[in-house]
Structure 1
Amino acid sequence: MENNSVNVNVELNMETLQAGEITHTKIVEPGKFTKIGKSMYLRFDESLDNNDKASILVKVGDDGEIHLKRVAKSTNLASLLYFTHKKHNSGHLQTEYGVLPLGTFTNDSVVEVINKPLSGKINIDYDLIYDNNIVGNYKFRLIFSA
């Protein structure tokens, strides 16, 4: 898989609305873009406190479904979320205490990739759902370029 990987610069901006409070997160990191068949993979790390890192993998399937996997070994947290335009999906959060089932509803999603020079964006607006309740509204804005 690494043989056809391209080094890219990744910028991820997240806006979260939870309990009436908006928070912003910005991640700027080097990453790798890989295409296998019609699926695309984007890997990068998120720098955490105490020089720790979380590994992030974004997969865009040939059907347009987006998978978002985040693993932070230092905090024993791993999440896997799925996004399909205007649909509900099931995912989960793995904690040291067990697995929490999480759902998403994708209000909007856009994936654009330009091959020469390689660049693109992945935008997802979604609701995060736990136990049939919306626990937050998220705006995920990722851009990358070689």
Structure 2
Amino acid sequence: MENNTTNVNVDLNMSIFQAGEMTHTKISEPGKFTRMGNADYLRFDESLEDGEHASILVKITEKGEIHLKRSAKSANIESMLYFTNKKHSEGRLHTEYGVMNMTTYTKDSLVEIQSKPLVGKINIDYDLIYDNNIVGNYKFRLIFSA
């Protein structure tokens, strides 16, 4: 089984429309890209306001599905969301109060990865749904390069 890890620079831009308000988040961090078997993994940390960090793991399957795991141990929060183009997917949010089942509806997704030189782009436009209500509209734009 092939296992190659490469250091990369990650730029993530997120736009969130929630409760009538638009917010933007920009993250620029070093990360690691690994190809293991038929899946690609991108790991990086997000710096949080309190000097802590959240660990981010993005997995791209050979079918083009995207799995997004975000863990912030200091805040005792972990989310696991799944994205398949034009489909609803079940995910979850672990908090100190318990587990909340979340659904994503992926309106559009794009994954482009080039090996030499290693560069990639992951775009996801999705709705986050809790208890059959849309709680937010998200635009996830991630670019990485070695």
Please classify the TM superposition score into its range, dividing by the shorter chain length.
Answer: over 0.9
User: Whole-Å Cα distance in 2 between the matches of residues 38 and 13 of structure 1?
Assistant: 27
User: Whole-Å Cα distance in 1 between the matches of residues 118 and 143 of structure 2?
Assistant: 11
Name the aligned partner's letter for residue 91 of structure 1.
G
Matched, 1:127 2:132: no
Q: List structure 1 segments (4+ residues) > 6 angstroms apart after TM superposition.
A: none
Q: CA deviation at 1:65?
A: 0.7
- Corresponding residue for residue 83 of structure 2: 83
Q: CA deviation at 1:143?
A: 0.1
1:70-118 CA-partner distances (Å, limit 9, x unpaired): 0000000000000000000000000001000000000000000011100
User: Whole-Å Cα distance in 1 between the matches of residues 140 and 14 of structure 2?
Assistant: 5
Q: CA deviation at 1:50?
A: 2.3
Aligned residues: 145
- Counterpart secondary structure, 1:44: strand
- Corresponding residue for residue 9 of structure 1: 9
User: Whole-Å Cα distance in 2 between the matches of residues 120 and 131 of structure 1?
Assistant: 34
- Corresponding residue for residue 30 of structure 1: 30
- Corresponding residue for residue 48 of structure 2: 48
User: Whole-Å Cα distance in 2 between the matches of residues 124 and 4 of structure 1?
Assistant: 25
Name the aligned partner's letter for residue 128 of structure 2.
L
TM-score (norm 2): 0.97
User: Whole-Å Cα distance in 2 between the matches of residues 4 and 61 of structure 1?
Assistant: 16
Matched, 1:18 2:23: no
Q: Which protein has the bigger helix share?
A: 1
- Corresponding residue for residue 63 of structure 2: 63
User: Whole-Å Cα distance in 2 between the matches of residues 21 and 98 of structure 1?
Assistant: 27
**What is the percentage of aligned positions where both structures have the same residue?**
70
- Counterpart secondary structure, 1:74: helix
Name the aligned partner's letter for residue 35 of structure 2.
K
- Corresponding residue for residue 98 of structure 1: 98
User: Whole-Å Cα distance in 1 between the matches of residues 50 and 122 of structure 2?
Assistant: 29
- Say what the alpha-carbon RMSD is for the aligned residues: 1.1
